[in-house]
Amino acid sequence: MVVALIGGGARSGKSRFAREYAEARFSRLALVATAQPLDVEMQLRIARHRAERGPRWTTIEEPLDLVAAMGGQAGCFDVFLIDCLTLWLSNILLTPGREPAGEILRLVEGLAAGPPSILVANEVGCGIVPENELARLFRDLSGMLNRRVAEVAREVYWMAFGLPVRIKGGPVST
């Protein structure tokens, strides 16, 4: 089972590399989009990302239940690109009744047993300690999420200045 994690800082080329990685290896491509168009800036960002993907991609918009989104359509696609885990975690944290640690465990278990998937995640723990409790919780959970996904991933890449650095698994090529 292919599980690849692509992490890095903001605007480091994670999504581009993930698309190229998927397009070079798979035919039937699905993007599970976790962003929600709650403001004009995010609406424009979503439209730009959709245009960049092009017609080969089918978009599944799912801000919360990634396991169900993939499981319900597992036979329809060769790979699921989840972009992005960091937004997904924000959605979980801000949705009443969701327990983040349990949701992370459910996702990791679903990835390990599920269809091929490529996941994009931001690294948010390399900076200063946030000043408020929610931001510190988000930073800590984000680190835990990325670590747990990396444990089940066959391949892990770190994007630095637009360049993929292989951390775990196969060779870098697109």
Query: 2 and 153 in contact (C-beta within 8 Å)?
Result: no
Query: How crowded is residue 83: how many other Cβ atoms within 10 Å of its Cβ?
Result: 24
- Specify whether 49 is catalytic: yes
Catalytic residue among 16, 25, 49, 168: 49
Which ranges in the chain belong to alpha helices (H)?
A: 14-25, 40-53, 66-71, 85-93, 100-113, 133-152
Q: What is the DSSP letter of 35?
A: -
How far apart (Å, rounded) are the C-alpha atoms in residues 5 and 114? 15
- DSSP state, 42? H
Tell me the catalytic residues.
49
